[in-house]
Structures are given as C-alpha cells and as structure tokens.
Structure 1
Amino acid sequence: MKNFHDQTGKRVFIPSPPLRIISLVPSLTELLYSLQLENEVAGITKFCVHPESWFRTKKRIGGTKNVDVNAVQLLQPNIVIASKEENVKEQVEAIAAFCPVYCSDIANLNDAYEAIEQIGLLTDRSAHAKELTQQIKQRFAQITIAKQSLRCIYLIWKKPYMSAGGDTFINEMLTAAGFENVLQEQKRYPEITLEQIAALNVDVVFFSSEPFPFKQQHIDAFTSEWQYQMPQIKMPALQIVDGEFFSWYGSRLLYAAEYFKKLRESLFLSDEFTH
C-alpha cells in the first residue's frame, strides 16, 4: 500500500502495485502506455486516442467531461487517474467514493515532471518514469531560443474565439518554444474578438487542432472576415498547430521540443518574416 499526496494535495492510498487502472486523461493514458502498462490499464476515455491500439481495444468509459461512473465501477479498478482541469470535480468525487483516485494538477513543466514520476511511483515504474523525465528535460534544454521572439495569440475555440491565458500549460509551452503570448497577463481561456486581436499587433495567430479542430477552412474564414472588416490593418501570419504538443503533458513531451524547433524555423523562413 502506497500513501502520498497527489497534486491537488489530497492524500491517496494506492494498492501496490495497482492491477487495474482506469485513465480519464488522454495525455496520461499515453504515459501509461510508455510505462508499459498494457495489461494493467482496464479503461480509458473516448478521447484517449494514443496509442491507437488502445483506442481500438480498451474499454471506453465516456469522455473526459462526461465519465460514465457506473461503467468505471463495473470495471472494478483499484486506481483511477484523473486531472483537475480536464475532468469534472463531481464525477471524480463520485468515483473516489468506491476507488482510490490520483488527480493531477499541471500548469507548467515542473508539474508535468512531478506527475510523470508520481505515476511511475504508484505503478511500480519509478525507474522508467525518472528516465523519461530526464530525456524530456534534455530535449527542452536543447531548444535554442532566438533573440527575436514572435508575439502570438493561441486560439483554442471558435464562436466565440477563445485563447490561452498565462496560467495555462499552453502558455508554458509557448514560452518554452520561444513565443511571446500577448495574453499572458490574463487567466485561463479568455474570449477574444477579431478586433481585439488586430489591436494587439501580434506576429502570428496560432489555431490549435484541439479542443476545437481548426482546419484550413477556418483560416480562410478568418482571413475573409479580417479583410472585410479591417482591410487597412495588416493581418498577422496564421498558423494551424498540433495542439497535442502544446497541451499534452505526458510522454508526448518527448517529441514536443523538436516540433517547436521546426515550427519556429518554418515561421521565420516564411514570406511573412523574410521581407
């Protein structure tokens, strides 16, 4: 039996080792896969798309915001992994009434490292988890940040447009990648209008692939609306980005640094910034 505080400060009593795990957090489901817990993971959410083999074969217990608590109980887990931001408090508390719950609360890279190592501890994969965090740290340390920092806005939603504020993991990733989030003084995910974006004089607007699945058609609509309403104002560069690299905080971080490097290179080599 393991006994420690999770990232929300709650004391959790964990069977050692847990034999049946349910993950309510897509990025931490991928982490469990990286920690080689194929046989131990009994259930995941419908948004746990990595790895694809688990997405196709593991029992799904609803979404991150609408967990089927009865389905969780029927699977008889002895540990459920949740997230303060991604899951609904009342649903997590209902699960905690019949099963231990480890709840993450991640706003920055240090929080992510701590969560990886805590999950490694509770699943008897401590050595593997520590090796993983060391690899991630090394890769982020290799990011060379140019003196020129591009001012950006990171959009996560449409109708209304919503963006990432300064107290989010996304903001942490933008900073680590060498971008300046012009909304870093705001909290959480503020709504923003086209006119407000124009007034902020940004270099680039990022359109995330999640949670709203921005695609080229949305870029085209944004462009048309801008040109119609504000033809006299130069439009910033518009870039669709893979939201998993900005908001997933498990083993996906292993590949984030290289993605950020290529993203910066592509922007600095584009026509927007070479004239």
Structure 2
Amino acid sequence: MQIKDQLQRVIKLNRTPQRIVCLVPSITELICDLGLEPLLVGVTKFCVHPQHIITNVVVVGGTKQVHYDKIRNLNPDIILCNKEENTPEMIRELEAITTVHISDVNTIEDCLELMDMYGIIFQCSPQAKSLISKISSAKIDFEDFIKTQPVREVTYFIWKDPWMVVANNTFINYMLSLNNFKNTFQKESRYPEIAMDGIYSTVELVLLSSEPYPFKNEHKKAIQPQFPNAKIFLVNGEMFSWYGSRLLLAFDYFKTWHRTVLPSE
C-alpha cells in the first residue's frame, strides 16, 4: 500500500502495521480512541492520555529527543510523528529504522484528514469515520454557540524565560479564532518571544497555558503591569493545542468557559 502523509511524502507499507511507535501525545490518545491501543509498543513521556499508557507501553523519550536504540529494539512497523512536535533531525534517524508518517495539523480540517488517513493505514475506517462525524457535528454546534459571544483581543502565553506567545500559522491560533478571539500577535509567525517592557493596553484577555510551560496563579502578577486592562486566566492548554479525539472534550470546555468565565456583554 502507498499513501501520502500530510507533508505529501509517499510512504509504502507492505501490510497493515501491527507495531506502532507514537511520538506525538495527542496522536497517542487518538490511536487509543480508534481502538488501536493493543498495537502501541512505544510512546513519549508526555503521552499522558489515557493515563495508564506510559505504564503499559515502553517510554522511548520525549518529543524532541528519543532513545533510538529503544525504538529499534521495539521493531515497529510504523512511527507516527508530527512536523511541529518532532525535529527534522529525529525524522532522518527514525527513517533509518522503519516507515515514518508525519502529520501537519493547523486546522480542524487537517485533524479530520489525519483521522481518515489513519483509518486507511490501520484498517479502522469505521471507527475513524465515526469520530470524524462526531467532531464535525460538535464543531458546527460550537460555531452556532459562539455567534453570541463578542470578539475580544487575546494574548496567549506558552512559555516563560523567555516570554513566548502564540502567533499566526499555528493550531492554537486557529482555535483562538474559533473562539471569537482576536490574537494580539496575529501578524507575527509561530511562537515569537516578546519583550515584557511594553504596555499592551488594548488586550482584553491574557491566557496562560498549562503547557508546555506550566503557568500558575503567581505568574499573573508578573504579567499584569504590561496588560493593565486585561483579565488574566489560566487555561487548559490541551484544549487549545491537542488535535485528535480530545477535540470532543475541547468544545464542551470552551462552552463552559465562555458561559462561566466570559458571560456575554
């Protein structure tokens, strides 16, 4: 079988993969929700959903650094990677071990395309199509809900020392837009560092993500002087950055958040 991944690379499979190494936390959860957990032989230390996975499956490292010998010894049929999560250097090393499939997700449409690909690769199309249908319906329902919410200017922090925010050309920025949020750094690309010596007086909301940097309440005080007119909130980063089956939880999370934290003005 030949199939293109989301970078349009042609990958060849002699049979349906039976041994999967996944180096992307959100995809590990997706693979399990597609009924393929028994095929997982290797994951990263950040693959925390489902919670038991890192105790039942060999942990081969993180998303940026892995133990290639561990992966080689697992004799995988396929390694699942992501353009943003995993480095080009890693990909080159992994391709010497076995077939590598790379995802590239910037929108929910990309997510659904990836699920469809996995349905074909792992011969679980009925499960993939069911999940695609549920997420598509949830998205339509949420888009109807969000029409009643005002547009707000938002800054979304992902890191400290240096301070880094989310900008354009990212999945998180797409999810912010879906929530009727106008990104302060929309004109910049990816994850720029920002100097914390300016005043951002037009920002209405500052969101401090739970990942990759685990922001806490004490960080609000450090940020408030630069954002004098903003309300600052801690948010569940998984809901804004995890593509895959977690989207079903994300839409409910966003609805609850808007209703309880940001009532319509």
Answer whether TM exceeds 0.5 for this pair: yes
- Between 1:258-267 and 1:102-111, the stretch displaced more is 258-267
Normalising by structure 2, what TM-score? Answer: 0.94
Equivalences for residues 1-275 of structure 1 within 5 A? 2-143=1-142, 144-145=145-146, 146-196=148-198, 198-199=199-200, 201-223=202-224, 226=225, 234-269=228-263
* 4+ residue segments displaced more than 4 Å: none
Give the deviation of 1:220 after TM superposition. 3.2
* Alpha-carbon distance in 2 for matches of 1:220, 1:182: 20
Native 8 Å contact 2:201 2:228 kept in 1: no
Q: Secondary structure in 1 aligned to 2:123? A: coil
Native 8 Å contact 1:245 1:252 kept in 2: yes
* Alpha-carbon distance in 2 for matches of 1:253, 1:179: 18
Give the deviation of 1:181 after TM superposition. 1.2
Same amino acid, percent of matched pairs: 37
- Between 1:138-147 and 1:156-165, the stretch displaced more is 138-147
* Alpha-carbon distance in 2 for matches of 1:182, 1:221: 19
Q: Secondary structure in 1 aligned to 2:37? A: coil
Native 8 Å contact 2:72 2:97 kept in 1: yes
Normalising by structure 1, what TM-score? Answer: 0.91
Q: Secondary structure in 2 aligned to 1:183? A: coil
- Between 1:172-181 and 1:56-65, the stretch displaced more is 172-181
* Alpha-carbon distance in 1 for matches of 2:196, 2:259: 27
Give the deviation of 1:15 after TM superposition. 3.9
- The one-letter amino acid of 1:101's match is V
* Alpha-carbon distance in 2 for matches of 1:138, 1:194: 41
Q: Secondary structure in 2 aligned to 1:65? A: coil
Give the deviation of 1:84 after TM superposition. 0.7
Give the deviation of 1:67 after TM superposition. 1.3
Give the deviation of 1:147 after TM superposition. 4.9
Structure 2: state its 5+ residue gaps.
Answer: none
Tell me how large the CA RMSD over aligned residues is. 1.6
Structure 1: state its 5+ residue gaps.
Answer: none
Native 8 Å contact 1:177 1:257 kept in 2: no
* Alpha-carbon distance in 1 for matches of 2:39, 2:254: 33
Residue correspondences, number: 262
1:111-136 Cα offsets, whole Å, 9 max, x none, are 11111111121111111111101111
Q: Secondary structure in 2 aligned to 1:42? A: strand
* Alpha-carbon distance in 1 for matches of 2:122, 2:40: 11
